[in-house]
Amino acid sequence: FGVSSAASFSLSHSQQQNNRRLDTMRLPMKLHEGATTDRRTFWGQAAVSIAGTLLGTGVGGGILPPAAFAASSQEDIDKQKIKKGYDRLTYLLANWEKETTLCNTGREGCDRTPLKVMEYLGYKNMDDPLFKADKTLRRLEALVPASDESQYLDALELWSEKSNEGSDMAYVSSWGEANPGGGKDRVEEFIERSKNDVIACREALGTALTILNIEH
């Protein structure tokens, strides 16, 4: 066992020790990298889970999906329309003479006008809450309890019949003086007939609001 062999053995032994030290140093680094990867995986999965819940696709339900939001929003809009339309008809009936009389027309005195009746019933403006109210009531029918369905449909039918009739009476009244044998008295007659239709329309909406449990 010569000097050269001893030197070679000593060098080899020293190199092995150095390699062990390097491996020992790398081990915490690998553990640290693994922990980092685990944390990234954890937070990534958590983010996906939260996003899924917000969109309504997560496990266990979560917030309603966009379609449900839209349905809920439309129901609220429809309820508000019927309630506002009911309130407007209440105001019209309480202020009938004032709302169906027009002054400062360039003629002497004031004239009765039926146009406000058509307006309040939703026949003059697409932005009016009672514009196509029959379709609004139809959409809300899904909220009606089975025990009240017959009464609700009766109210819907009454609205459709009397709103059309009231608008027609108001329209005929607007031409009352121009028709043969017509005059202010004929205008007055048709306006008052349309008032009865407005009363029936308000009653129909009131019934619908009661069934839908909407305060009025």
pLDDT tens digits, one per residue of 191-213: 888 899 999 999 999 999 999 99
Name the E strands within 20-140.
101-102, 111-112
How, if at all, do strands 101-102 and 111-112 pair? antiparallel
* pLDDT tens, position by position, 80-110: 999 999 999 999 999 999 998 888 755 667 8
* pLDDT tens, position by position, 109-134: 787 877 888 899 999 999 999 999 99
* pLDDT tens, position by position, 22-70: 454 454 444 444 444 455 554 555 554 444 444 444 444 445 566 655 6
- What average pLDDT score do residues 128-152 get? 96
Q: Which two tokens stand for residue 165?
A: 């009739």
Alpha-carbon distance of 69 to 196, in angstroms, equals: 40
Q: What's the confidence (pLDDT) of residue 189? A: 80
By three-state DSSP, how is residue 141 classified?
helix
Residue 62's Cβ-count burial label (10 Å; 0-12, 13-18, 19+) is middle
Q: What type of residue sits at position 138?
A: R
Q: What are the φ and ψ backbone dihedral angles of 214, each rounded to 5 degrees?
A: -105, 125
Q: Does residue 190 carry a pLDDT above 60?
A: yes
